[in-house]
Chains A and B, each alone.
Chain A
Amino acid sequence: MLDLSTSYLGLKLKNPLVPSSSPLSKHLDTALRLEDAGAAALVMHSLFEEQLHAEAKMADRFLLNSGIGHGEAEGFLPDHGGDKSMLDHYLEHLAKLKSRLSIPVIASLNGVSLSGWVDLGRELQQAGADALELNVYHVAADANFSGESVEARYVSLLSELHGGVNLPIAMKLSPFFSSLPHLIKQLERAGARGVSLFNRFYQPDIDLDSLRMVDCLHLSTPDEALLRIRWIAILHGRTRLTLAASGGVHSHEEAMKLLLAGADVVHLASCLLLHGPGRLGQILADMEKWMSEREYTSVAQLKGSMSQKNLPDPDAVERASYIRVLDSYGPARGVRS
């Protein structure tokens, strides 16, 4: 009998497959189907700070203060007071997921500012979240802002949140840090229980007809798993934080590679959006098959077995590997170059 169990953020999970923050959690039915397919936990769709702010602005301008000073109309849309905010809906949905799912539910906060997180975190805790994922969407575009201060921002956010809630917190990071292990060490000190590598930003695109910037988010491709494999391999065994690999997992192959590199859990989103929740069961079955064929008995056994620490040639995941990969793009031997 294979033991697929793992642990992430202190949560005991029956296997390492965890749907990541995506619209999949928005519908209870889909969430239940994910659980049925074998998901070990669920990261909820993100509560976006910008959306909360935009909602507040919208309410302020068009509901609470829409009067224009005309005697016939004091406002133009009904404000029936009882309208719930996006946060209320999120909390309600979290509570609903918790009441119907038996797997852990991880709430996700996505934002950039330095204030307001603790209150939100407390409310999510109260609504039953098992853990929090903090996704700081910060593009360091200010030339007066050093790399150090960017990192300090992350650390201070985390430590503020950590001080306010009892839940384990994972920090979802972008790959754009000059020294990821150093940052992760700081996060560990500030109270994080895990990191999720890496988030995939919305990227601005240019509409050639209107010459306007438009937001764009494409689904991931398996190639993207490579970046995660490298960093998970480097980090495994060098931090006490649990590691989640996020981005590019479309089949058991990427999942196995990430586990071998040292991931504690593997997040899935694009493949589930493309093929439906049942895909998770398929990947799980394929993983089991792969492990059985190779006579692995547990995930614990293989986890990190190919991390940088455990490799015969540790440089392979750093620069040497880079050169090799480049070589692999050289022409075949028989081709005249």
Chain B
Amino acid sequence: MTSSQTPTIDGNEAAARIAYLCNEVIAIYPITPASSMGEWADEWASRGQPNLWGATPKIIEMQSEAGAAGALHGALSAGALATSFTSSQGLLLMIPNLYKIAGELTPFVLHVASRTVATHALSIFGDHSDVMACRGTGFSLLAAGSVQEAHDFALIAQAASLAGRIPMLHFFDGFRTSHEVAKIVEVERDTVRVMINDEHVAAHRARALSPEHPVLRGTSQNPDVFFQSRERANPYYDAFPGLVQEAFDHFAGLTGRQYKLFDYVGAHDAERVIVLMGSGAETVHETVNHLTARNEKVGVLKVRLYRPFDPAALIAAIPEFTRAIAVLDRCKEPGADGEPLYKDVLGAFANAAADGLRAMPRILGGRYGLASKEFTPGMVKAVFDELAQALPKRQFTLGIHDDLTHLSLPWDESFRTDAARALRHAVFWGLGADGTVSANKNSIKIIGEDTPLNAQGYFVYDSKKSGAVTVSHLRFGEAPIRSAYLVGDNDAGFVACHQTVFTERYDVLKQARPGGVFLLNTAATPETALDSLPENLRREIVDKELAFWVIDAYRVAADAEMGRRINTIMQTCFFAISGILPREQAITAIKKAVEKTYGTKSKRLVELNHRAIDMTLAHLHQVDVAQASSPALGVECRRDACATNDAGQPSQPPAFIRDVTLPLYAGLGDRLPVSAMPADGTWPVGTAKYEKRGIALEIPVWDAALCTQCGKCVFVCPHSAIRARVFPADAAADAPLTFKHVPAKSKDYPVGTQISYQVAPEDCTGCGDCVEACPIHDKSNVSHKALNMAELVANNSPNNSPLRAQERENFSFFLNLPEFDRDAVKHTTIPGSMLLDPLFEFSGACAGCGETPYIRLATQLFGDRMLIANATGCSSIYGGNLPTTPYTTHADGRGPAWSNSLFEDNAEFGLGMRLAADQLMGHAQTLVQELAGDIGGDLAEALVNAEQREETGIRAQRQRVATLLERLEGSTQPRARELATLAEWLIRRSVWIIGGDGWAYDIGYGGLDHVLTLPWDVNILVLDTEVYSNTGGQTSKATPIGAVAKFSAGGKATAKKDLVKLAADYGHVYVASVAYGAKDTQTLRAFIEAESYLGPSLIVAYSPCIAHGYDLQYNGRQQEAAVKSGHWPLIRFDPRLEASAGNPWKLDSAAPTQPIREFMESETRFAMLSRSHPEAAEHFMAEAQSIADRRYQSYLALARQGEPKTGS
């Protein structure tokens, strides 16, 4: 069979291939893990690929899933075949329209990569909570358990829905199936054509709304007929399971793959059966095979069609001997006495028993796999064991350690199935950007498509964006692979570590099988490699008798002129020493793959990659472990080091951080018991500082003599990894020898005051933004600045670097310097404000991120009084993704309190915070007035009428509140106690509503707009990257004309929405458009003005992003170019000026001096259009110029309103 018939693809692509063929309108909105289905469709459409009827489907990205559902409803009503892809909250946003679509008996398939619905926390991972929330919509629910099934069921759903007029929600497990790469048998186009019945399609079209034969749909009904109408649809639902089975059978006739509504696998006389749906059923299937081979009477029932539920078919599928059933649900319904599938199975058997058709078996309900929690054969075995108990747990959980309510079943982690033992496993540790994942996907394709072997790949990603770790889990084997779980400990015959630094952070060899192969990319020689490893890994290599191979892949890459791209080199090593394919065959295949990838883009890249592949083998060496010197005292794994922190961070972290946060960081979260978790999703702040990720290869080094102390480096640092502090000279008396400090140049401080700019070497990402921003050159050598990057990593091993050790000590000393008086520094200047401590530090944002400096700035200025509502997106991921958070506190414990509600409601969420703060303040003020006699009239008066716009006023109020609390202490008056609990609300809160352009311009715009129309004092910060950054670069309404983004492959055809103008038009909103890299003083001023304004404030902040396609080290230059070219005018609109100066508009940037073409040509997002659509690119550039000119002129006119006319 050729590879085109057995492609190796992931679940999303497998489903999307069918959905694309069978539909005409595809309305989508990106959401993880479903995004790539829409992206595939967009890609195929942009290539003009036809659907079954020879047309190119219309793909449209909407402003939200609610919008997509509305568009779908319309398209379906008007006669098109339409589809969409979604997940989780996105699916929930579609629910109102799902009811409508089903209520109107509309054939339609919605493909869902099922994902956890956010509760106490958001999770992008998989479970069925989203799908289960749709049970009432009237949609049919069809569960696929593997990549093959996601492909097959996509078609079967389409055929059945057309036949029976019931819309179908076809779902498969998010990440586990949506992102698993597997070899499948592709359904041929002709088969798809045959499965889609023309008459059914014609009938759908005939029902379309048409002025040629008009009808009325969507009526409003009264009590007289609504109920009957709902019941009128019953026959369709009654018939539907039969139609689905017909579609299954038809499909089986065409492809040989037979499915049933409920597929039973196992002993025909099974006494114990597990019932479940989704990918977990594959794992149970594998385990059942193992157990039945040992004559155990067990089986598994895979639920395919969950709604409409066919109890008779369910019962018929379960052997009559079955005495005990465990129904496993991948969701939780709090407060219920069982989850939905369990209740349905229980009900089916109860009725059958009541009718005397069947003896009532014992039925247990178990929860497993929430948010992609591992579900392994060991756990399956534990369930079967439980079913054999005389008194099993009626309700249980799997895969966790529940020491609180004791619901969890213990399991044997070492249990392995025969199938698993027959497979070959490989694990690869890579850095996010080093191409490990893409190389592995490629290897799987090579093996899957060039050999008869089956192949599976699953990729575990990091929650960090800079220095992310990826772990690739690969399996190969002759039999179909059903293992829907990670490669277990001691299973992998091949382990590769593509980054030396991971050897110090992780136990990279725990999955290595005794006698297996370990490949390490290291600068160490074969002679020194073993000694360069931490003790635990050396021990594992020896104990497990691993064959240890090394290569200096970065050297090979450099020699082959490949820069730092090591993916093909490491891939070549894998094939060379794993023995999965004959070496020559593998190398030819890798070269072919390179040609396929780069062929159209660059022959030179093909040539360089080929050269690298050819050079690889000469640099690949096996380490003679037996001959290696006896283990020297090496570096212990940093998993332990980070917990006890040897570098001056609190050596005794608070208990929670020690017991929970740090184990999470060390990758041991799965082992934490239920009792260790906060019950309500509340976590401590100030935890990012414990990570010490050490990912920079170079860090900035300060030249104190040259520095003018301007503070720009601190301002631009995306990770708050360079800090400034002033302090009295004697504070540095015990400073480490290498700690640098010089007299402060500013006259604002007493004579003798010292200043230091200090780098956090293990928190810096090495982006170089600070060096770029540094304006000071050595007069005799322009390449030497007041900050210069210096190599941090020696011998590819961070711990070897003296600079690192030295700066670690210096940073520790720096942090312990006495805090300066915040009143003594000028908040309104850059050098002054940059002396304020950041309360946002060391986030996992991308190196060079253009968003984080804005957040850090806000925390420096207002952090101790901030309440932050954060929209879902990049800023919520680097802001609040466990294990740690970058939000932190001053020494007094005050700092930003942060929360994320949803993507779509952030403005409203923040408004609610404001209302609460104001309401409680009002309440407290009333009590103060009421109790004025007890607490003192002067204090009461001051508390109520305190001027709190500025920081000094807030500090004074805090003093008053402290006094108030003292005076209230001991009071027995009930109202006094009430006031004591409310007293803190007397201190003004600064409410910040933060999110990206996807939120502000699109999905959350309705709410944002509404909040802007209200008078409440909220500060809205829009981090405008002009694209959906977090989900991978989809178009937003902030995307500028001519920019290429996902869903705008031909360049965004319309201008960016002018949010600034829209907001300013209200007249009462403070608005600023800022770009710190172009004019930091204007940014600073805007933040201070926005916060001090009593009504709503909106800051639209230009935020360079990796999605713009240039090295973010130059993000300052690009911001400058954006402003100079007129792409991003800087403005401030301050309603307060209306009264004083007469014109609230201020234009802070000069007339464009640079053609916008120059700006656009310097960023890939624009430049790539010149390659793909050169004429369109030209047109858009001209259009962009005229938009920029027009906008500048209109802003200029606004800024000049009221100015006296000249020349008359």
Contacts and interface: CB of A to CB of B under 8 A. Distances in A.
Interface of A: 52-53, 55-56, 58-60, 62-86, 88-89, 115-116, 119, 211
B601 A70 contact: no
A69 to B, nearest CB: 2
Contacts of B604: 52-53, 56, 116
Give 6 closest A-B pairs by Cβ, nearest first.
A69-B432, A73-B1032, A56-B602, A69-B468, A71-B461, A76-B1107
A62 B600 contact: no
A113 to B, nearest CB: 9
Interface centre among A62, A64, A79 (most CB of B within 10 A): A62
Contacts of A74: 36, 1032
A77 B1045 contact: yes
Contacts of B430: 69
Interface residues of B, number: 65
Interface in B165-181: 175
B846 interface: yes
A55 B468 contact: no
B565 A68 contact: no
B461 A119 contact: no
Given A78-B43, A78-B1044, A70 B461 contact: yes
Given A77-B1044, A78-B1046, A69 B1164 contact: no
27 contacts: A52-B602, A53-B602, A56-B602, A56-B605, A59-B602, A63-B1164, A65-B438, A66-B1106, A68-B468, A69-B430, A69-B433, A70-B462, A71-B32, A72-B35, A72-B877, A72-B1030, A72-B1031, A76-B1032, A77-B1164, A77-B1165, A78-B43, A78-B1044, A81-B43, A82-B47, A84-B1171, A86-B1171, A89-B1171
B437 A71 contact: no
Nearest to B1171: A83
Given A58-B1164, A60-B601, A74-B36, A65 B1106 contact: no
Contact of B465 (A59, A70, A81): A70
A63 B1044 CA distance: 11
A70 B464 CA distance: 7
Contact of A83 (B33, B600, B1029, B1105): B600
Given A69-B437, A69-B469, A83-B1168, 11 more contacts: A56-B604, A60-B605, A65-B433, A65-B565, A69-B431, A69-B470, A70-B461, A71-B462, A76-B1029, A78-B1047, A85-B600
A55 B47 contact: no
Chain B CB within 10 Å — which of A75, A78, A88 has the most? A78
Interface in B596-610: 597-598, 600-605, 607
Interface of B: 32-33, 35-36, 39, 42-43, 46-47, 124, 175, 430-433, 435, 437-438, 461-466, 468-470, 565, 567, 597-598, 600-605, 607, 777, 782, 846, 877, 1027, 1029-1033, 1044-1047, 1049, 1105-1107, 1109-1110, 1164-1165, 1167-1168, 1171-1172, 1174
B1172 A68 contact: no
Given A63-B601, A81-B600, A72 B1032 contact: yes
Nearest to A73: B1032
B47 A69 contact: no
B465 A68 contact: yes
B463 A62 contact: no
A75 to B, nearest CB: 6
B1172 A84 contact: yes
B1174 A89 contact: yes
A264 B1109 CA distance: 47
B42 A73 contact: no
A117 to B, nearest CB: 12
B1171 A71 contact: no
A88 B39 CA distance: 26
A78 B1044 CA distance: 8
Contacts of B1044: 77-78
B1172 to A, nearest CB: 4
Provide the main secondary structure of the chain A interface.
loop
Contacts of A52: 602, 604
Contacts of A71: 32-33, 124, 175, 461-463
A82 B1172 contact: yes
Contacts of B782: 211
B602 A68 contact: no
Contacts of A77: 1033, 1044-1046, 1107, 1109, 1164-1165, 1168
A85 B432 CA distance: 27
A75 B1165 CA distance: 13
Contacts of A58: 1109, 1164, 1167-1168
B441 to A, nearest CB: 10
A65 to B, nearest CB: 5
Contacts of B438: 65, 67
A58 B598 CA distance: 12
Contacts of B433: 65, 67-69
A80 B461 contact: no
Nearest to B48: A82
Given A52-B604, A82-B47, A76 B462 contact: no
B432 A70 contact: yes
B533 to A, nearest CB: 23
A66 B465 CA distance: 12
Contacts of B469: 69
A86 B597 CA distance: 17
A28 to B, nearest CB: 11
Nearest to A56: B602
Nearest to B1110: A62
Indicate the member of B602, B782, B1106 with the most A CB atoms within 10 Å: B602
Which of the listed residues B464, B605, B1110 has the most CB atoms from chain A within 10 Å of its own CB? Answer: B605
B1045 A78 contact: yes
Contacts of A64: 597-598, 601
A230 to B, nearest CB: 37
B180 to A, nearest CB: 13
A85 B433 CA distance: 24
A68 B601 contact: no
B1106 A68 contact: yes
Contacts of A211: 777, 782
A82 B1105 CA distance: 25
B437 A85 contact: no
Contacts of A115: 607
Contacts of A70: 432, 461-465, 468
Most buried by A among B465, B1032, B1046, B1106: B1032
Contacts of A88: 600
Nearest to A68: B432
Contacts of B1106: 66, 68, 76
Nearest to A69: B432
Given A71-B175, A72-B124, A78 B432 contact: no
